[in-house]
Structure 1
């Protein structure tokens, strides 16, 4: 496991470097290879999200994750604006080169990027973790609670009273789970493959399929709606020959339509902020997915220019909101991404003055709030995210290909089906993470 700071550096170098070099591709194969590397770099995005979660207040982590995701919207609008200006006059090479600049600018912030305190403690680097926590406290005009920072070794923060102890039951439960996990991991040298195979075991099959459907549906629909914005921009007149002409770089109306539809994600972000911490993750995702179906439905019967713009604008608003929330929900069910242990220990027991940054401890506390058991949870979430990316890959190969062949109605119905099934899958998620706070004892969670 690498720290969030290294993930930050990897993402910036890979996306900016490969992105800039792709502008100089001598042929199609080289272009695809370099864009593949850009995709690998972008895969580090969830690492940045998990790193960000450790620095925000737990009661409003959903809201702050939406705020973070809003910068995706800003980037989308920026890219659409850039394409609108650059492509007709200068071509795709200039577009790719200029698009790599924002990632390159990330490197300027690397020097001031703090490492995850939790990661540092897991590695036994508690002194460095204390430094990060003290800087956080100073910036927020607060003080660290008195007590000990406990990992593999103890660091004195302030004078500790005689009553400063860690909850024995918590430690015991954590130790038992740690021993169980070690025994399980020792059973094979191919622990990673075992974890993947367990995802499809009878016990976990339901949870696995539900997560896969949610991620696949959100990605397939989101990127599909983005592509449909250009594919259906000419209403009922789209057909194979005209469609080839419509994507020519001199067609400025194509970029204008993409630019306008990109603004749908701004109200989508506001909707996410309003509902994610109020009605919960499951209901928020389901309502957005089903509402997206409503917006897409008129396109089955008519695709005039105005109706197409309104329908795709509304559908993109809802899908972007759902896509944002599913990436909030997934980390909340993974112990690697979820909680700040400081809040857990200092608030769970007011008299407790020990700070415990140990992933094993609060993993055991979350036993009743898990889609997957500890041994396969990280693998489960990672595979689900990969399934979502497969949805994004298949979208232009399947749905958009139908539009190219003048099967617009079939394409719209396919999107309707995928979005609807994703909404149904979300409703059957095993639990709701809204209200799953850090300040509960093990007894409270029972």
Structure 2
């Protein structure tokens, strides 16, 4: 009898060994972050540098084109608005393509679109042609969240928080590079050279596309296990590690591409990455109806409407401050003279000021990371946004150049910190079942703020209504924290040093530029 029992146990264990499986999360955890992920980070990071440069470019393009083509303030502001409109369309379009046809498809098509039309816009013969080309560049730039999610899908879960902070600095690098490039190029050459050179990071990506891997999570989600295994084996060879024993499976795995996530991943993954998770829910009429019905239900209606407004106001303030940097310098001189103001491209003060204020992104991100665990997410976000208003306040009157630059530096640092924390705070407002959908829609609504803000930052300032324009920004930036105070306290915001939702330990902040 004992012999038969032993034989049965041996057969059972042998059968279990034959059925041993592992998931991509298991494989990533065992292999760790190595050379393979570093190369993925470099490629995705360059995509974010390119996006940041195209957005930062808007601070310089309007003033120089206005002088050459005698544009009205409305025409000048439209140059920025069409880019943000394109980004809004691109965010959903690329997310849909990414989920249906793969991450690599989006990496290639969006890079081709941004680089090609970005370069062609430098050859624009007239205003209308430039407007159309920049709109399509905006669509290409809207793929930034796919670059972020593609990178995350190669990172072990335990390290995502740290690497998301590192990844977020690529945006800051892009803004500083564009400010430096404008300072050098516009002081000696024309805006056409600036447009052409700003497209260079996208061209750099193209030769390396052939060696970029498809996301193993995407391949598993589409039941292409053999290709997913091949990618993981390639990763193991690069990292000099070994895959787990058994067969790769998708059963029971955390699904990064779906609406359902673990509480930890909800806070480690950036808002840009969340944009594409909602696309599947929005690609059909039933999906739209079901998503909106849940978000506007009795229990969530108040939180949803408040969050939509906060995202809109924060986006309006964040992008508006970037545009104010270049506009206020010109307006202070043009509106104080009875003569027609002529932009002097060789005057480096404008570009120096923009370069200095672009550096505020880094301390803003660091400041938010330091304060959030001590004072809680909502309190820190409200304080930083109110501080942003305080820095903008003196600008209702004309100030000297040094004081203006100092105020804008402080406003941008605080605005950056506030919007960073908003991206951490927002997922905690919703229950897990509608979290990604709610944040994705709120992010899209936030981009409307980017479309509208140039009409104020450019249109009103060019019409010499500086006080009215700054007051509008004050109201928008101040309304965001006021409305935030009306939100119910999320479960992850319980006091100094608290962790994330459901007891998950606190992690560094992620990317904030999805607003």
TM-score normalised by the chain length of structure 1: 0.72
Matched, 1:257 2:356: no
CA drift at 1:397 = 0.6
2:441 equivalent in structure 1: 383
Q: Corresponding residue for 2:227?
A: 128
| Contact 2:381-2:422 at 8 Å conserved across structures | yes
Residue in 1 that maps onto 2:482: 424
| Alignment match, 2:154 | 55
* 1:104-143 superposed Cα distances (whole Å, 9 cap, x missing partner): 1122332332322222111011232233334445555554
C-alpha contact (below 8 Å) 1:53/1:61 kept by paired residues = yes
Once the two structures are TM-superposed, the CA of residue 206 in structure 1 deviates from its matched residue by 2.4
In structure 1, what is the Cα distance between the partners aligned to 2:205 and 2:284?
Answer: 38
Give the whole-Å Cα distance in 1 for the aligned partners of 2:284 and 2:367. Answer: 46
Figure out how many residues of one structure are paired with residues of the other and give that number. Answer: 372
SS in 1 for 2:248: strand
Runs of at least 5 residues in structure 1 that lack an aligned partner in the other structure: 153-165, 168-173, 175-184, 334-368, 441-446
Mapping for residues 18-417 of structure 1, pairs under 5 Å: 18-137=117-236, 139-140=238-239, 142-146=241-245, 148-151=247-250, 190-195=285-290, 197-198=292-293, 199-233=295-329, 237=333, 239=335, 245=341, 247=343, 249-275=345-371, 281-300=377-396, 303-327=399-423, 333=427, 371=430, 374=433, 379-417=437-475
> 1:220 & 1:26 partners in 2: Cα distance?
31
Q: Is the 8 A contact 1:293 1:315 kept in 2?
A: yes
Partner of residue 343, structure 1: none
Q: Classify the secondary structure of the residue corresponding to 2:186.
A: helix
Q: How many angstroms apart in 2 are the aligned matches of 1:34 and 1:212? A: 30
Give the conservation status (yes or no) of the 8 Å contact 1:22–1:35: yes
Deviations 1:368-389 (A, max 9, x none): x672674x65554343223222
Do the aligned partners of 2:114 and 2:137 also contact (CA within 8 Å) in 1? yes
The offset of 1:422, in angstroms, is 1.6
Measured in 1, the distance between the counterparts of 2:461 and 2:338 equals 11
Q: Is the 8 A contact 1:218 1:388 kept in 2?
A: yes
Residues 48 and 278 of structure 1: is their aligned pair in 2 closer, same or farther, counting only changes over 3 Å? Answer: farther
| Superposed displacement of residue 196, structure 1 | 6.1
What is the aligned partner in structure 1 of residue 112 from structure 2? 13
Q: In 2 relative to 1, CA 79–62 (structure 1 residues): closer, same or farther, beyond 3 Å?
A: same
Displacement of 1:73: 1.4
Could you tell me whether the CA contact under 8 Å between 1:62 and 1:276 is conserved in 2?
Answer: no
Q: CA deviation at 1:20?
A: 0.8
TM-score, length basis structure 2: 0.63
Render the CA deviation track for 1:225-263: whole Å, top value 9, x for unaligned. Answer: 122212222685551877973645344322221112111
Judged with a 3 Å threshold, the aligned counterparts in structure 2 of structure 1 residues 7 and 61 are, in CA distance, closer, same or farther, namely same
Answer whether contact 2:325 2:357 (CA < 8 A) is retained: yes
Provide the aligned C-alpha RMSD in A.
3.5
Distance change (3 Å), C-alpha of 1:326 and 1:57: farther
Q: Is the 8 A contact 1:211 1:384 kept in 2?
A: yes
Shift in alpha-carbon separation, 1:282–1:46, aligned structure 2, 3 A: farther
Structure-2 change in CA distance of 1:195 and 1:125 (3 Å): same
CA contact (8 A) 1:240 1:404 kept: no
Q: Are 2:323 and 2:457, in contact at CA under 8 Å, matched by a contact in 1? A: no
Distance 2:216 2:484 in 1: 33
1:155 alignment partner in structure 2: none
**1:58–1:438 CA contact under 8 A, matched in 2:** no
CA-to-partner distance for each residue in 1:18-71, whole Å, 9 max, x for gaps? Answer: 101111112211111110011001111112222222333445534432322211
Aligned to 1:337: none
Contact 2:384–2:417 (Cα < 8 Å) also in 1: yes
Instruction: Evaluate the alpha carbon distance shift between residue 244 and residue 425 of structure 1 in structure 2; reply closer, same or farther with a 3 A threshold.
Output: farther
Deviations 1:296-325 (A, max 9, x none): 233346623222111110111122233344
Instruction: Return closer, same or farther for 1:252/1:64 CA change in 2, 3 Å cut-off.
Output: same
Question: Which segment drifts farther, 135-144 or 382-391?
Answer: 135-144
Output one character per residue of 1:192-236: Cα deviation in whole Å (capped at 9) or x when no partner: 442464344545432332332232222211221122212222685
**Could you tell me how far apart the structure 1 residues matched to 2:392 and 2:345 are?**
27
